[in-house]
Structure 1
């Protein structure tokens, strides 16, 4: 407050307050602005950490294709491969990425149980890494047939699932987990043909590919 007022005989009289109050008021506003800046910087750091770990999510949908960004969004994508394809009995799968081996925790077991309950069988081609070898050992229990290939020929950090006319691709590698889902009969047919060619070749490597 830099101007004071008083009423005398029904008339308002105005007078200037101490001029030093102007500097004091400015200092108060500067201090408040600095506090807001500190809060904004702290919030920025937290948001950057969330983004780096995939905590922030984004899904962009069009008629036949959807894009997913962030761990939660990619988790939704993986679940949608089942909910959007009820009745399909076969899934073709390329690659095993860190979503399953490091990030998913029990969520992946829940997904597998749901797929098995739907009686959806999987044909899977995997690099012969430790996680994929353990994955193959569970094939019978988890309705799957896995073929291992040398990891130097298939250094996969991305997974591709093909169910009917739907293609789902996702990866947890890099700063932010990312995925996409599209439905296109001709693209699915082309990808299925490539999978079957690779499937036949993978048979020659055997279970101990290296």
Structure 2
């Protein structure tokens, strides 16, 4: 089904406004819990972590469980050090975080389907951080919630093999991001990534990871300098 130019422009405007709504949500105001699961070539790890922006920097992240066990003091120390390193990398712009406006190529947006609740949209994807060879080999789909005017789900998949770094070849890639709307604040609900391929021609890549966010509680905004 093709939309008229006017309706197509209205759809692009809705998606643009939904992206802005997500970006305007001050995530540093929210405390939450995240359950992480990773299966890398059959090696399974899991953790339950909590984040509280009201605490001082060294205590904002806390490790509740690791691999279904109470964490040791050594594991907690390693966990905190890793979180501080990630915070510094984010500050320096060295992390792999992706803005929705970078992920969603708004000029390529096309109507796909519509139900009583959602509009399904497809779009082209190109991420420089995944390498030049990924160009033209990734496609995106999103669900736009008509009643609450936000992006409910985002799916990125590959249509052909690509090589993000030298000697790595990705044959299957799927990234799914689900969002939740809490009082018109758009927050992540679940991140899921599935990836298969080879590294150095001999090592198999077979990875599944899921982060599930819950127990959101709003806190007063804190200074970004902390």
- TM-score range (shorter-chain normalised) is under 0.3
Higher helix share: 1
- Normalising by structure 2, what TM-score? 0.24
